[in-house]
Amino acid sequence: MRYAFILFVCLLSACRPAESSGVLPDFTGLVEENAPAVVNISTSIDPGKAQQNMQQQVPDFLKRFFDGMQEGQVPDMAPQPAESSGSGFIIGADGYILTNRHVIADADHIIVRLSDRRELEAELVGQDERSDIALLKVDASGLPTLKVGSSEKLKVGEWVLAIGAPFGFDSSVTAGIVSAKGRSLPSENYVPFIQTDVAINPGNSGGPLFNLDGEVVGINSQIISRNGGYMGLSFAIPIDIAMDVVAQLKDKGRVSRGWLGVVIQPVDRDLAASFGLDKPTGALVSRVLAGSPAEAAGVQAGDVILSFNGEEIEESSELPQVVGLLPSGTKAEAKVMHDGDLITLTIEIGDLPDDAEARFGGAASPERADAGVLGVIVAPLTVQDRQQRGVDGGVLVKKVADGPAQEAGIRAGDVILSLNNRPTDTPEAFTEQLNALPEAGTVAVLVFRDGDSRFVAVKLGNL
Protein backbone atom coordinates (compact mmCIF):
# COMPACT_ATOMS: atom_id res chain seq x y z
CA MET A 1 0.00 0.00 0.00
CA ARG A 2 2.89 2.31 0.88
CA TYR A 3 4.52 1.71 -2.53
CA ALA A 4 1.22 2.40 -4.27
CA PHE A 5 0.99 5.76 -2.48
CA ILE A 6 4.55 6.67 -3.48
CA LEU A 7 3.78 5.73 -7.10
CA PHE A 8 0.63 7.90 -7.03
CA VAL A 9 2.60 10.91 -5.74
CA CYS A 10 5.25 10.42 -8.43
CA LEU A 11 2.58 10.30 -11.14
CA LEU A 12 1.09 13.58 -9.82
CA SER A 13 4.51 15.22 -9.89
CA ALA A 14 5.06 14.08 -13.46
CA CYS A 15 1.72 15.53 -14.56
CA ARG A 16 2.27 18.91 -12.81
CA PRO A 17 3.83 21.57 -15.12
CA ALA A 18 7.41 22.38 -14.27
CA GLU A 19 7.13 25.95 -13.14
CA SER A 20 10.67 26.97 -13.90
CA SER A 21 11.08 25.23 -17.26
CA GLY A 22 7.50 25.91 -18.36
CA VAL A 23 7.67 29.68 -17.86
CA LEU A 24 11.19 30.61 -18.89
CA PRO A 25 11.91 29.87 -22.57
CA ASP A 26 15.17 28.50 -23.93
CA PHE A 27 16.56 31.02 -26.43
CA THR A 28 19.67 29.09 -27.44
CA GLY A 29 18.28 27.60 -30.65
CA LEU A 30 16.79 30.92 -31.73
CA VAL A 31 20.10 32.71 -31.23
CA GLU A 32 22.18 30.05 -33.00
CA GLU A 33 19.90 30.12 -36.03
CA ASN A 34 19.48 33.90 -36.37
CA ALA A 35 22.63 35.60 -35.02
CA PRO A 36 24.56 35.12 -38.32
CA ALA A 37 22.12 37.46 -40.10
CA VAL A 38 22.59 40.31 -37.59
CA VAL A 39 25.29 42.80 -38.58
CA ASN A 40 27.28 45.61 -37.02
CA ILE A 41 27.12 48.94 -38.84
CA SER A 42 29.76 51.65 -38.51
CA THR A 43 29.74 54.99 -40.26
CA SER A 44 32.16 57.84 -40.78
CA ILE A 45 32.18 61.41 -42.03
CA ASP A 46 35.10 62.59 -44.13
CA PRO A 47 37.66 64.72 -42.21
CA GLY A 48 37.09 67.66 -44.55
CA LYS A 49 33.40 67.75 -43.73
CA ALA A 50 34.13 67.27 -40.04
CA GLN A 51 36.53 70.23 -40.20
CA GLN A 52 33.89 72.32 -41.94
CA ASN A 53 31.30 71.42 -39.33
CA MET A 54 33.78 72.31 -36.59
CA GLN A 55 34.48 75.67 -38.19
CA GLN A 56 30.77 76.48 -38.26
CA GLN A 57 30.41 75.61 -34.58
CA VAL A 58 33.42 77.55 -33.18
CA PRO A 59 32.52 81.21 -32.51
CA ASP A 60 34.71 83.82 -34.22
CA PHE A 61 35.64 85.50 -30.92
CA LEU A 62 37.09 82.18 -29.71
CA LYS A 63 39.00 81.58 -32.94
CA ARG A 64 40.81 84.90 -32.52
CA PHE A 65 42.38 83.70 -29.27
CA PHE A 66 44.67 81.44 -31.31
CA ASP A 67 47.95 83.16 -32.29
CA GLY A 68 48.12 84.19 -35.92
CA MET A 69 44.49 83.39 -36.55
CA GLN A 70 42.30 85.67 -38.61
CA GLU A 71 38.58 86.00 -38.18
CA GLY A 72 36.83 83.19 -40.06
CA GLN A 73 39.74 80.74 -39.70
CA VAL A 74 39.76 77.68 -37.48
CA PRO A 75 42.77 76.23 -35.64
CA ASP A 76 44.45 73.13 -37.04
CA MET A 77 43.14 70.42 -34.78
CA ALA A 78 44.07 67.51 -37.06
CA PRO A 79 40.43 66.37 -37.36
CA GLN A 80 39.67 62.68 -37.40
CA PRO A 81 36.73 61.10 -39.23
CA ALA A 82 33.57 61.34 -37.15
CA GLU A 83 32.34 57.82 -36.40
CA SER A 84 29.26 56.11 -35.02
CA SER A 85 27.95 52.58 -34.84
CA GLY A 86 24.77 50.61 -34.62
CA SER A 87 23.15 47.36 -35.68
CA GLY A 88 21.19 46.01 -38.62
CA PHE A 89 19.97 42.74 -40.10
CA ILE A 90 19.93 41.06 -43.49
CA ILE A 91 16.54 40.72 -45.17
CA GLY A 92 17.76 39.61 -48.61
CA ALA A 93 20.37 37.00 -49.52
CA ASP A 94 21.44 39.40 -52.29
CA GLY A 95 22.64 41.97 -49.75
CA TYR A 96 19.67 44.06 -48.60
CA ILE A 97 20.04 45.21 -44.99
CA LEU A 98 17.59 47.02 -42.72
CA THR A 99 18.56 49.47 -39.98
CA ASN A 100 17.54 52.78 -38.39
CA ARG A 101 17.97 55.97 -40.34
CA HIS A 102 19.60 57.68 -37.37
CA VAL A 103 22.36 55.05 -37.43
CA ILE A 104 23.55 56.16 -40.89
CA ALA A 105 22.33 59.76 -41.03
CA ASP A 106 24.75 62.16 -42.79
CA ALA A 107 27.39 59.43 -43.19
CA ASP A 108 29.91 59.53 -46.04
CA HIS A 109 30.88 55.89 -45.58
CA ILE A 110 28.81 52.97 -44.24
CA ILE A 111 30.68 49.78 -43.32
CA VAL A 112 28.79 46.56 -42.58
CA ARG A 113 30.60 43.90 -40.59
CA LEU A 114 29.13 40.43 -41.10
CA SER A 115 29.17 37.60 -38.58
CA ASP A 116 32.03 35.93 -40.51
CA ARG A 117 34.13 39.10 -39.88
CA ARG A 118 33.93 40.35 -43.47
CA GLU A 119 33.61 44.12 -43.77
CA LEU A 120 31.72 45.48 -46.78
CA GLU A 121 30.96 49.05 -47.78
CA ALA A 122 27.22 49.55 -48.08
CA GLU A 123 25.20 51.69 -50.47
CA LEU A 124 22.27 53.66 -49.11
CA VAL A 125 19.25 52.55 -51.16
CA GLY A 126 16.81 54.87 -49.39
CA GLN A 127 15.81 56.33 -46.05
CA ASP A 128 12.68 57.63 -44.37
CA GLU A 129 13.08 60.15 -41.59
CA ARG A 130 9.52 59.94 -40.28
CA SER A 131 9.72 56.21 -39.56
CA ASP A 132 13.48 56.20 -38.86
CA ILE A 133 14.07 53.41 -41.40
CA ALA A 134 17.04 53.02 -43.77
CA LEU A 135 17.58 50.38 -46.44
CA LEU A 136 21.18 49.44 -47.31
CA LYS A 137 22.72 47.19 -49.97
CA VAL A 138 26.07 45.40 -49.95
CA ASP A 139 27.69 43.68 -52.91
CA ALA A 140 27.36 40.06 -51.80
CA SER A 141 25.23 36.99 -52.41
CA GLY A 142 24.18 33.89 -50.53
CA LEU A 143 23.93 35.79 -47.24
CA PRO A 144 21.99 34.41 -44.27
CA THR A 145 18.63 36.14 -43.82
CA LEU A 146 16.03 36.56 -41.11
CA LYS A 147 12.40 35.49 -41.29
CA VAL A 148 10.01 38.43 -41.16
CA GLY A 149 7.00 37.93 -38.90
CA SER A 150 3.95 40.05 -38.07
CA SER A 151 3.96 42.77 -35.45
CA GLU A 152 0.17 42.93 -35.71
CA LYS A 153 -0.09 39.45 -34.15
CA LEU A 154 2.26 40.33 -31.31
CA LYS A 155 0.63 40.28 -27.87
CA VAL A 156 1.40 42.24 -24.73
CA GLY A 157 3.21 39.98 -22.26
CA GLU A 158 4.79 37.88 -25.01
CA TRP A 159 8.48 37.00 -24.78
CA VAL A 160 10.79 38.83 -27.19
CA LEU A 161 14.53 38.83 -27.77
CA ALA A 162 16.99 41.35 -29.21
CA ILE A 163 20.35 40.80 -30.89
CA GLY A 164 22.64 43.75 -31.54
CA ALA A 165 25.90 45.48 -30.73
CA PRO A 166 25.40 47.68 -27.65
CA PHE A 167 28.47 49.81 -27.01
CA GLY A 168 30.16 47.92 -29.86
CA PHE A 169 29.84 44.46 -28.29
CA ASP A 170 28.80 42.40 -31.32
CA SER A 171 26.09 39.72 -31.14
CA SER A 172 24.88 40.66 -27.66
CA VAL A 173 21.59 38.97 -26.75
CA THR A 174 18.97 40.39 -24.36
CA ALA A 175 15.42 39.23 -23.66
CA GLY A 176 12.23 40.47 -22.07
CA ILE A 177 8.53 40.86 -22.74
CA VAL A 178 6.28 43.16 -24.73
CA SER A 179 5.21 45.87 -22.29
CA ALA A 180 2.72 47.63 -24.58
CA LYS A 181 1.78 48.18 -28.21
CA GLY A 182 0.84 51.26 -30.17
CA ARG A 183 2.93 53.64 -28.10
CA SER A 184 3.35 57.18 -29.40
CA LEU A 185 6.50 59.16 -28.72
CA PRO A 186 6.59 62.98 -28.84
CA SER A 187 8.93 63.13 -31.83
CA GLU A 188 7.36 60.32 -33.83
CA ASN A 189 3.79 60.83 -35.10
CA TYR A 190 3.56 58.03 -37.64
CA VAL A 191 4.98 55.02 -35.76
CA PRO A 192 2.93 52.97 -33.25
CA PHE A 193 5.93 51.72 -31.27
CA ILE A 194 6.25 48.36 -29.54
CA GLN A 195 7.31 48.98 -25.95
CA THR A 196 9.44 46.28 -24.29
CA ASP A 197 11.55 45.81 -21.18
CA VAL A 198 14.34 44.25 -23.24
CA ALA A 199 17.72 45.76 -22.30
CA ILE A 200 18.55 48.13 -25.19
CA ASN A 201 21.54 50.47 -25.15
CA PRO A 202 23.44 52.68 -27.62
CA GLY A 203 24.57 50.42 -30.46
CA ASN A 204 21.42 48.27 -30.38
CA SER A 205 19.67 50.73 -32.70
CA GLY A 206 18.66 49.10 -35.97
CA GLY A 207 18.88 45.55 -34.63
CA PRO A 208 16.07 43.00 -34.80
CA LEU A 209 13.46 42.17 -32.16
CA PHE A 210 12.37 38.50 -32.37
CA ASN A 211 9.37 36.55 -31.14
CA LEU A 212 9.79 32.99 -29.84
CA ASP A 213 9.26 31.59 -33.34
CA GLY A 214 12.45 33.31 -34.45
CA GLU A 215 10.58 35.86 -36.56
CA VAL A 216 11.50 39.54 -36.66
CA VAL A 217 8.62 41.55 -35.22
CA GLY A 218 10.34 44.90 -34.75
CA ILE A 219 13.44 47.06 -35.15
CA ASN A 220 14.93 48.28 -31.88
CA SER A 221 15.02 52.04 -32.17
CA GLN A 222 14.78 54.15 -29.02
CA ILE A 223 15.01 54.15 -25.26
CA ILE A 224 13.72 56.52 -22.63
CA SER A 225 16.42 57.12 -20.06
CA ARG A 226 17.58 59.72 -17.57
CA ASN A 227 21.20 58.60 -17.71
CA GLY A 228 21.63 57.52 -21.35
CA GLY A 229 21.46 53.81 -20.54
CA TYR A 230 18.84 51.12 -20.17
CA MET A 231 16.03 51.81 -17.69
CA GLY A 232 13.40 49.30 -18.76
CA LEU A 233 11.70 51.45 -21.41
CA SER A 234 12.70 50.31 -24.89
CA PHE A 235 10.86 50.96 -28.13
CA ALA A 236 10.86 49.09 -31.43
CA ILE A 237 9.41 50.00 -34.81
CA PRO A 238 6.80 47.38 -35.83
CA ILE A 239 8.11 45.22 -38.65
CA ASP A 240 4.85 45.64 -40.59
CA ILE A 241 5.53 49.38 -40.78
CA ALA A 242 9.17 48.82 -41.65
CA MET A 243 8.48 46.40 -44.51
CA ASP A 244 5.94 48.78 -46.04
CA VAL A 245 8.65 51.46 -46.00
CA VAL A 246 11.12 49.00 -47.57
CA ALA A 247 8.71 48.19 -50.39
CA GLN A 248 8.18 51.88 -51.18
CA LEU A 249 11.90 52.70 -51.01
CA LYS A 250 12.67 49.88 -53.44
CA ASP A 251 9.83 50.83 -55.76
CA LYS A 252 10.08 54.63 -55.91
CA GLY A 253 12.89 55.73 -53.60
CA ARG A 254 10.58 57.64 -51.25
CA VAL A 255 7.72 56.95 -48.85
CA SER A 256 4.19 58.27 -49.35
CA ARG A 257 1.79 58.69 -46.45
CA GLY A 258 -1.81 59.67 -46.13
CA TRP A 259 -2.56 63.23 -45.04
CA LEU A 260 -5.58 65.03 -43.60
CA GLY A 261 -4.17 68.48 -42.93
CA VAL A 262 -5.31 69.02 -39.36
CA VAL A 263 -3.58 70.01 -36.14
CA ILE A 264 -4.93 67.91 -33.30
CA GLN A 265 -4.67 67.67 -29.53
CA PRO A 266 -5.79 65.22 -26.83
CA VAL A 267 -9.21 65.43 -25.21
CA ASP A 268 -9.11 65.62 -21.42
CA ARG A 269 -12.05 65.29 -19.07
CA ASP A 270 -12.88 69.00 -18.98
CA LEU A 271 -12.67 69.38 -22.77
CA ALA A 272 -14.84 66.30 -23.19
CA ALA A 273 -17.53 67.90 -21.05
CA SER A 274 -17.34 71.15 -23.02
CA PHE A 275 -17.82 69.32 -26.32
CA GLY A 276 -20.66 67.11 -25.10
CA LEU A 277 -18.68 63.86 -24.91
CA ASP A 278 -19.39 61.19 -22.30
CA LYS A 279 -15.69 60.50 -21.78
CA PRO A 280 -12.30 61.90 -22.90
CA THR A 281 -11.75 60.22 -26.25
CA GLY A 282 -10.92 61.05 -29.85
CA ALA A 283 -8.71 63.63 -31.55
CA LEU A 284 -9.70 67.27 -31.09
CA VAL A 285 -9.08 69.40 -34.18
CA SER A 286 -7.49 72.69 -33.16
CA ARG A 287 -6.66 73.83 -36.69
CA VAL A 288 -7.51 72.90 -40.28
CA LEU A 289 -4.81 73.70 -42.83
CA ALA A 290 -5.83 75.70 -45.87
CA GLY A 291 -6.23 73.65 -49.03
CA SER A 292 -6.10 70.37 -47.12
CA PRO A 293 -8.29 67.27 -47.60
CA ALA A 294 -9.87 67.98 -44.21
CA GLU A 295 -10.91 71.48 -45.28
CA ALA A 296 -12.40 70.13 -48.51
CA ALA A 297 -14.43 67.59 -46.52
CA GLY A 298 -15.81 70.21 -44.12
CA VAL A 299 -13.78 69.43 -41.01
CA GLN A 300 -13.65 72.43 -38.69
CA ALA A 301 -11.67 73.49 -35.63
CA GLY A 302 -13.56 72.20 -32.60
CA ASP A 303 -14.56 68.94 -34.25
CA VAL A 304 -13.62 65.77 -32.39
CA ILE A 305 -12.70 62.83 -34.65
CA LEU A 306 -13.94 59.68 -32.89
CA SER A 307 -13.24 57.10 -35.59
CA PHE A 308 -11.50 57.02 -38.95
CA ASN A 309 -11.78 54.43 -41.70
CA GLY A 310 -13.48 52.05 -39.25
CA GLU A 311 -10.77 52.43 -36.57
CA GLU A 312 -11.81 53.83 -33.20
CA ILE A 313 -9.67 56.81 -32.18
CA GLU A 314 -9.34 56.66 -28.42
CA GLU A 315 -6.12 58.67 -28.14
CA SER A 316 -5.40 61.64 -30.42
CA SER A 317 -1.98 60.15 -31.24
CA GLU A 318 -3.69 57.23 -33.00
CA LEU A 319 -5.12 59.40 -35.79
CA PRO A 320 -1.84 60.19 -37.64
CA GLN A 321 -0.90 56.51 -37.50
CA VAL A 322 -4.23 55.39 -39.01
CA VAL A 323 -4.24 58.10 -41.68
CA GLY A 324 -0.57 57.68 -42.54
CA LEU A 325 -1.05 54.06 -43.60
CA LEU A 326 -3.71 54.95 -46.17
CA PRO A 327 -2.65 55.60 -49.78
CA SER A 328 -3.34 58.98 -51.32
CA GLY A 329 -6.74 59.03 -53.03
CA THR A 330 -8.38 56.64 -50.55
CA LYS A 331 -11.87 57.72 -49.50
CA ALA A 332 -12.39 57.16 -45.79
CA GLU A 333 -15.30 57.83 -43.47
CA ALA A 334 -14.75 59.78 -40.28
CA LYS A 335 -17.21 59.88 -37.38
CA VAL A 336 -17.02 63.38 -35.93
CA MET A 337 -18.59 65.17 -32.99
CA HIS A 338 -19.53 68.52 -34.53
CA ASP A 339 -21.36 71.16 -32.51
CA GLY A 340 -22.78 68.49 -30.21
CA ASP A 341 -23.98 66.28 -33.06
CA LEU A 342 -22.38 63.04 -34.26
CA ILE A 343 -21.90 63.26 -38.03
CA THR A 344 -20.10 61.23 -40.68
CA LEU A 345 -17.77 62.88 -43.18
CA THR A 346 -16.21 61.30 -46.26
CA ILE A 347 -12.61 62.45 -46.71
CA GLU A 348 -10.36 61.78 -49.68
CA ILE A 349 -6.87 61.19 -48.32
CA GLY A 350 -4.09 63.40 -49.65
CA ASP A 351 -0.36 62.80 -49.94
CA LEU A 352 1.60 64.03 -46.93
CA PRO A 353 3.72 66.96 -48.16
CA ASP A 354 7.34 67.43 -47.17
CA ASP A 355 6.33 70.47 -45.14
CA ALA A 356 3.35 68.98 -43.35
CA GLU A 357 3.62 71.62 -40.64
CA ALA A 358 2.64 74.45 -43.02
CA ARG A 359 0.72 77.13 -41.14
CA PHE A 360 -2.18 79.40 -42.08
CA GLY A 361 -1.08 82.50 -43.90
CA GLY A 362 -7.33 94.73 -40.85
CA ALA A 363 -8.21 97.40 -39.25
CA ALA A 364 -7.76 97.58 -35.49
CA SER A 365 -10.31 98.34 -32.81
CA PRO A 366 -9.48 99.74 -29.41
CA GLU A 367 -8.38 97.44 -26.57
CA ARG A 368 -11.17 96.15 -24.37
CA ALA A 369 -10.51 97.10 -20.75
CA ASP A 370 -13.28 94.94 -19.30
CA ALA A 371 -11.82 91.63 -18.07
CA GLY A 372 -15.24 90.01 -18.31
CA VAL A 373 -16.35 86.66 -16.94
CA LEU A 374 -13.11 84.94 -18.05
CA GLY A 375 -10.82 87.51 -16.49
CA VAL A 376 -8.98 88.53 -19.67
CA ILE A 377 -8.39 91.87 -21.39
CA VAL A 378 -8.06 91.55 -25.15
CA ALA A 379 -6.99 93.74 -28.04
CA PRO A 380 -7.29 93.40 -31.81
CA LEU A 381 -4.54 91.81 -33.86
CA THR A 382 -2.70 94.20 -36.11
CA VAL A 383 -1.73 93.21 -39.64
CA GLN A 384 1.83 92.74 -38.39
CA ASP A 385 0.60 90.54 -35.53
CA ARG A 386 -1.25 88.30 -37.98
CA GLN A 387 1.74 88.01 -40.28
CA GLN A 388 4.22 87.28 -37.50
CA ARG A 389 2.04 84.64 -35.88
CA GLY A 390 0.65 83.17 -39.09
CA VAL A 391 -3.00 83.52 -38.03
CA ASP A 392 -5.88 85.05 -39.93
CA GLY A 393 -8.15 85.87 -37.01
CA GLY A 394 -8.51 86.04 -33.26
CA VAL A 395 -7.92 88.56 -30.49
CA LEU A 396 -4.71 89.22 -28.56
CA VAL A 397 -4.71 88.62 -24.79
CA LYS A 398 -3.15 91.74 -23.24
CA LYS A 399 -3.72 90.96 -19.56
CA VAL A 400 -5.02 88.06 -17.48
CA ALA A 401 -6.65 88.84 -14.15
CA ASP A 402 -7.54 86.42 -11.37
CA GLY A 403 -10.28 84.16 -12.69
CA PRO A 404 -11.15 81.15 -14.83
CA ALA A 405 -8.81 81.99 -17.72
CA GLN A 406 -5.79 82.31 -15.43
CA GLU A 407 -6.62 79.04 -13.70
CA ALA A 408 -6.88 77.35 -17.12
CA GLY A 409 -3.38 78.53 -18.08
CA ILE A 410 -4.25 81.34 -20.52
CA ARG A 411 -1.65 84.09 -20.38
CA ALA A 412 -0.77 87.47 -21.88
CA GLY A 413 0.48 87.16 -25.45
CA ASP A 414 -1.87 84.30 -26.33
CA VAL A 415 -4.25 84.70 -29.25
CA ILE A 416 -7.81 83.52 -28.65
CA LEU A 417 -9.15 82.13 -31.91
CA SER A 418 -12.53 80.90 -30.73
CA LEU A 419 -14.67 80.93 -27.63
CA ASN A 420 -17.19 78.19 -26.87
CA ASN A 421 -16.53 76.80 -30.37
CA ARG A 422 -17.37 80.11 -32.05
CA PRO A 423 -14.65 82.00 -33.99
CA THR A 424 -13.80 85.41 -32.62
CA ASP A 425 -12.08 88.09 -34.72
CA THR A 426 -12.63 91.38 -32.86
CA PRO A 427 -12.82 92.50 -29.23
CA GLU A 428 -16.47 93.46 -29.82
CA ALA A 429 -17.33 89.98 -31.04
CA PHE A 430 -15.39 88.50 -28.12
CA THR A 431 -17.41 90.60 -25.65
CA GLU A 432 -20.69 89.49 -27.23
CA GLN A 433 -19.62 85.86 -26.91
CA LEU A 434 -18.62 86.43 -23.27
CA ASN A 435 -22.06 87.84 -22.51
CA ALA A 436 -23.68 84.75 -24.04
CA LEU A 437 -21.74 82.32 -21.84
CA PRO A 438 -23.55 80.44 -19.05
CA GLU A 439 -22.86 81.39 -15.45
CA ALA A 440 -21.35 77.99 -14.69
CA GLY A 441 -20.01 75.02 -16.59
CA THR A 442 -17.03 74.38 -18.85
CA VAL A 443 -16.33 76.09 -22.16
CA ALA A 444 -13.62 75.43 -24.74
CA VAL A 445 -11.28 78.26 -25.69
CA LEU A 446 -9.04 77.83 -28.75
CA VAL A 447 -5.69 79.46 -27.95
CA PHE A 448 -2.76 80.10 -30.30
CA ARG A 449 0.68 80.17 -28.66
CA ASP A 450 4.26 79.64 -29.85
CA GLY A 451 3.23 78.62 -33.35
CA ASP A 452 0.57 76.10 -32.29
CA SER A 453 -3.11 76.24 -31.45
CA ARG A 454 -4.83 74.10 -28.85
CA PHE A 455 -8.10 74.02 -26.95
CA VAL A 456 -8.16 74.91 -23.27
CA ALA A 457 -11.06 73.94 -21.02
CA VAL A 458 -12.13 76.90 -18.90
CA LYS A 459 -14.38 76.35 -15.90
CA LEU A 460 -16.81 79.21 -15.35
CA GLY A 461 -18.12 80.49 -12.04
CA ASN A 462 -14.66 80.70 -10.44
CA LEU A 463 -14.33 84.49 -10.16
**CA dist., res. 460 & res. 443, Å (int):** 8
Estimate the share of the chain in helix, then strand, then coil, as percent rounded to the nearest 5: 20, 35, 45
**CA dist., res. 343 & res. 297, Å (int):** 12
Residue of 42, 85, 179, 205 with catalytic role: 205
Instruction: Clarify whether 205 is annotated catalytic.
Output: yes
Q: Which helix (H) or strand (E) holds 378?
A: strand 376-380
Are 368 and 397 in contact by the 8 Å Cβ rule? The answer is no
Instruction: Clarify whether 132 is annotated catalytic.
Output: yes
**CA dist., res. 76 & res. 74, Å (int):** 7
Q: Are strands 96-100 and 133-137 parallel, antiparallel or unpaired?
A: antiparallel
Strand partners, 446: 418, 455
SS3 155: coil
SS3 51: helix
Maximal CA-CA distance, the chain: 105
Residue of 128, 132, 170, 270 with catalytic role: 132
CA distances from 422 to 212, 394, 419 (A): 54, 11, 5
- Residue 35 DSSP symbol: G
Q: Is 201 exposed, middle or buried (0-12, 13-18, 19+ CB in 10 A)?
A: buried
SS3 15: helix
Residue positions counted in the chain: 463
**CA dist., res. 344 & res. 152, Å (int):** 28
Residue of 102, 150, 184, 197 with catalytic role: 102
Query: Catalytic positions, please?
Result: 102, 132, 205
